[in-house]
Chain A
Amino acid sequence: MPISILPPRRAHTSKVAEFSRSSYDDDRSAAEEGEADVDMEGDIPMSGALQRNKRGGRTSIVTPGEVVTDDPQWMRGHGTYLAVAEEGEEVGTRIVATVAGTVTKVNKLLSVKPLRARYTPDIGDLVVGRIMEVQSKRWKVDINSTQTAHLLLSSINLPGGILRKRTSTDELQIRTFFSEGDLLVAEVQSLFQDGAASLHTRSLKYGKLRNGYFVKVDAKGIQRSKSHVLTLATANGGGEVDVILGVNGYVWIAKKTSLSDGKKDGKEVSITRLEEEASEAIYSSVNEFIAPATRREIARVGNCVRALVRHDVRVDEEMLNAVYEAAVEESMEERGDADESLDGDGGRRCVEKALGLDLFSGEFKDK
């Protein structure tokens, strides 16, 4: 029999507005008053989400401890557990939610997706992290996960050539590469048994971060995509700005620097010697001079990332560019309530302009 894998289906389509309206209705709260009356059986009406779906009136949002289904045909996925139910003579298993979220179905796999959760590392993820601790042969890196990630001395680019063996001198000088509080961009190389990540920076794309601005957003705000390193051409003479979107919700926005910029004589570095030439400057902790105009635009890009995440819009190159443009326009307009932090309505207007969508009604605006 051929196996066809269906795309994941969000169960809560078009019912959200209806439910949120009905739950604040007067008659609804009256019904709640009735429900909340203590019945002597001590029973709690917790109808399964799937049953409610059959009735068709509600979204399938579940809270921890709520029975998702008692139908044995489903397999349990993330965010659920199997409980053995004994109701009278019948003994059966049922799938119970462990987090508050929406029920997602892929074929016969049932999982509950929480609204927000901590970052769980996966191999290949690009993450931005901060060094928490220096040990003799490795660093411990905070990557917004339940556990600190490890960065081994053997999985970084040592100065003086990529293929050099690590020596005891390197171990003694471990703080010259990364010390506590340093920010870095790395890739998840492998996972330990307990889910902790092991990172590596063995590429010129990765390494220490400087010349920029750190932004923390919710880990679910940054989705995995094709490229996580973007370059934006900014307005107002800000020049080019690099944006590194860590999958863990840590974002780094910095002035764009090319590797050959540091060379005084301006001679071209051959591509084969690039690694060696770069390695001396790669662990520098000294920021270059950043013009006030660039700083201003870096801060604006940071606000744009926050505004996108706050309105649950996917952060990618196209969207970020569009919102940035809208934000620049917004600041140009001499509004009475000009608010460049994009925290409130200003941020919403920019995102709406970029999307061409009214966030309140969900209707497309005519451009």
Chain B
Amino acid sequence: MTDRRRINGPSEGTTPPVFASAVVTKPTPTRAPDSLRKIFLKTSLTPPATGSAFLELPSPAPYPNSSTLKITASVYGPRPLPSSAAFSPHARLTAELKFAPFSTPHKRRGYVRDAVERDLSVQLQNALVKSIKTGAYPKSGIDVFITVLDCEGGLDGDDDEGVEVGLMGVLAGAITCASAAVADAGIECVDLVSGGVAALVKRPQNSDAMDTDGMNAPMLVLDPSPADGYQILSAAVVGYMAGREEVTLLWTKGSVGILDGEEDELDLLMDGAIMTATAVRLVLNEAVKERMLLGLARSKGKLKEDGGGDVAMSS
């Protein structure tokens, strides 16, 4: 007697489908290790916010439609703290980083803040708060909201591929973008903060350095992308105030030690990340300045119709 109330499976049973796995070719790096990606950065794009910015990195050359890093930042404030809040003689900065549900390519992200977002938010807040003159705004709050619209290649790296740098790239981009938004909001800050990433990677097999004695020495790569296909041994991200030469944030991953008994890998990583951040700072300066020029040109009645170009820099 068969059960008529339910839809039953075939009595013989089935074999589960087996799909031929797609041939995964490991991407090969197309940039020189010490060159950075171009950055698109524009401010004042979110009208209701006091200040805002948008940052985007280009897709890698062979895959024009692949996902890249896209980040928006909006700054609200300084605005009065709610009366329930305790007295604070400084401005209270809160930073909130959120991944959009569609930001990762294969897996949708939840709406509720998860541990990764909370961790990045705290790091971002630490990186920014040192640049803002919080003493100038007593009893007020500054809220920074970051939304990651797209993060290149996802965030869950395979363990055998080494250290995962996707999150670091997101954090560095978020720092740069948030700092541009803070400057756009007209909030007093001692300096702008830019983020930079550097990584030590396993030297590719076909490298010229094979025949030298440092054949197994790792190679320093600036602004590494998860899509580059390097096997990353260790990586660092910094928040750097180039005008004051101060590091506001440092986060390292992977194992770092002493190379050949003389060179400290941590120093190498930090220097690389600072170099990246310093170059990014040029883009940041130009983006902030571009908005000023647009405003000034308008106030002088001299808005040029072709003046809507973007600030893109490469190295």
Residues of A whose CB lies within 8 Å of any CB of B are 12, 16-17, 19-21, 23-24, 29, 32-33, 35-38, 40, 42-44, 46, 59, 61, 63-67, 79, 81, 83, 96, 98-102, 114-118, 133, 140, 142, 146-148, 194-196, 311-312, 355, 357-362
Contact = CB atoms under 8 A, between A and B. Distances in A.
Nearest to B310: A24
Contacts of A195: 138
A355 to B, nearest CB: 8
Nearest to A194: B138
Contacts of B214: none
Nearest to B274: A42
A274 B288 CA distance: 54
A195 B80 CA distance: 12
Interface in B14-43: 34, 36
Interface string B175-214: 0000000011011111110000000000000000000000
A303 to B, nearest CB: 16
Given A16-B296, A19-B293, A64-B191, A81 B133 contact: yes
Nearest to B87: A194
Nearest to B241: A65
B307 A20 contact: yes
A21 B304 contact: yes
Nearest to B306: A24
Contacts, number: 172
Interface in B265-308: 271, 274-276, 278-279, 281-286, 288-307
Contacts of B289: 61, 63, 100
A142 B191 CA distance: 30
B313 interface: yes
B190 A38 contact: no
A24 B309 contact: yes
Contact of B140 (A37, A44, A140, A147): A147
Given A44-B282, A146-B80, A65 B191 contact: yes
Interface residues of B, number: 65
B242 interface: yes
B230 interface: no
Given A38-B275, A46-B243, A114-B186, A61 B301 contact: no
17 contacts: A16-B296, A24-B306, A24-B309, A40-B275, A42-B275, A46-B243, A61-B289, A64-B192, A66-B285, A99-B189, A100-B186, A100-B292, A102-B292, A114-B186, A194-B138, A312-B295, A359-B298
Nearest to A348: B303
Nearest to A142: B80
A359 B133 contact: no
Given A42-B275, A360-B304, 6 more contacts: A16-B302, A44-B282, A100-B288, A100-B291, A114-B186, A140-B83
A38 B282 CA distance: 11
B190 A64 contact: yes
Contacts of B83: 133, 140
The 8 closest A-B pairs by CB, nearest first: A65-B191, A65-B243, A312-B299, A117-B186, A146-B78, A36-B315, A98-B188, A114-B186
Given A64-B189, A83-B244, A362-B302, A44 B295 contact: no
A353 B140 CA distance: 42
A46 to B, nearest CB: 6
